[in-house]
Amino acid sequence: MADDNTFAEVKRLLDEGRDRDANVFVQRQGFESLTAWLREQHHAEPADAWRLDMLCRELWRQNETARIRELIASEAVAPAVKCGWEVLVEAKEDQAESLDAAFGRLVRLEVSREDLPAFLERELASLKALRRLDAALEAAVADDSISMSFAALQTRRLCLRKQWDVSRHFEAWIARAGDAAAQPVAAFLDVAGDLHEAGTVLPDLIAKHGDWMKQHTIPFGKAGYAYASSGLFAETAAWLAGCETREDLQGWIAANHITALWALHRYEEAGKVAAEVLRRDLRDATWDWNAAAAAFGHALAGRTAETQTALDAITGTSSKNAEFQWAAELARSVLRALKLPRSESKRVLNEERQRLAMVLQKHSLKLDHEASSERYELALKAIAHHGGFRPRPWQLRSAIERPVNPLRSWWVIGGVVLVLLAVLRGCLNPGEEGAMDYLDEQKKSEQLPMDAAPTSQEEIDKLLEKPQQLRSR
């Protein structure tokens, strides 16, 4: 494997946090270890921030802080990387005075590696130094000198505590930093989506900064994510409307739009958005979602070649979602009918019903009953439409299990209990009144307080003869 390909693969593994896999990979390429390979990479490009940072992270795991100090002493080291590692080393060595000074410098520097602030936050948490970090962030916000890289970190930390008023700084940050201010705004939107708070915090944010957000890819897309994650699908569709025509369209943005359109039963529009993703080859973790959505849309429209192309585009390697897997299977069912003579459609419909039931059983797809059943019905109707016949109602009935209604379950349980009690009453002494009452009263008598209990044998005998008297005691 060429060296540039080795570099790309190791970088990918390390960026994903798969250090052990990266180590195995470089050893297979003939290197002694990941550390040895990273040292060679840093020696080749000493000014490259990624190479130095990755080497320092590997040495950090090995507790070689002295070696890290030697590496970051070079003038060629990027300021943010240098200062970041100074903070970590001094925090580990408990150098309080120099640590605070390093923090003050760090939070005012922009970083070239986007994950550096999050990495520092995680490591500082293990070193019990987050209070110092927060103090440095607050001081830099107060004098409006914070970098946008660390403004994003500050925003995320505050939003996780639901301190949404951090957005009051956005106007000043946008005015000062311009496009770079997209970082803290995106962080705000990410947390709003993760905590399902879009309905609470987005209207005000969009009212103030909506036009600016639409001009910037990440804030625009993250707002769509926040709405979709919060279950506000009408708002999602409205905000992302026309996203397929944007030059800066990304796959994940389209996936959120498609999810919203599906929830609103707007399958034709969703199919067009998904088809545009495939046309532009916008690959990311949502690629298979978009390919399945495109296949489903084409299948419903009766486009054989396009359906096949979309299904062929599914890789099986990107993030999966049960609803989109189901859509792909439905598209396959329709495609089979489209490829056969119309006269075969009735047979295909029945065979695909059986196949889809087996798919559900085999893969144990956790599907929303109402929405997935609707798509099932649409697919079977597409098969029937191709064949020129009307399917029978029972043929459209989905094999997807309905969610259990807790209220209905309690009614059933209650009914069973009543029946059992009635049977037991009859078994004890059919036709004799008070048989069950007697058992109830005996149980109650065991729980009577001492001052209410029978005090003589004569009284006990009377109670046994007339158990109903116990009620009056």
What is the pLDDT, as a whole number, of residue 466? 43
Residue-wise pLDDT for 43-72, tens only, equals 888 888 888 899 999 999 899 999 999 999
Residue at 139 is within a domain = no
Domain ranges, residue 452: 411-472
Poorest-pLDDT segment among 47-51, 333-337, 360-364, 413-417: 413-417
Q: What is the mean pLDDT of the chain?
A: 85
Band (96; pLDDT cuts 50, 70, 90): confident
* pLDDT > 90 in the chain, percent: 59
| 460 pLDDT higher than 70 | no
Is 462 part of a structural domain of the chain?
yes
Evaluate whether residue 461 is within a structural domain.
Answer: yes
pLDDT band per the 50, 70, 90 thresholds, residue 316: confident
- Whether 92 maps to a domain, the answer reads no
- pLDDT value, residue 6: 84
Determine the residue type at 351: E
pLDDT score for 424:
65
pLDDT confidence tier of residue 412, bands split at 50, 70 and 90? low
More confident residue, 343 or 415: 343
Contact 88, 123 (CB under 8 A): yes
407 or 73, which is more confident?
73
Instruction: Please indicate, yes or no, if residue 374 is contained in any of the structural domains.
Output: no
Query: Residue 104 — very low, low, confident or very high, per pLDDT cuts 50/70/90?
Result: very high
Residue 468 lies in a domain: yes
- Residue closest to 299 by CA, chosen among 390, 354, 376: 376
Domains held by the chain: number = 1
Residue 183's pLDDT is what? 96
414-453 per-residue burial string, b: 16 or more CB within 10 A, e: under 16: eeeeeeeeeeeeeeeeeeeeebbebeebeeebeeeeeeee
Is residue 353 one of the residues assigned to a domain?
no
Q: How many residues does the chain have?
A: 473
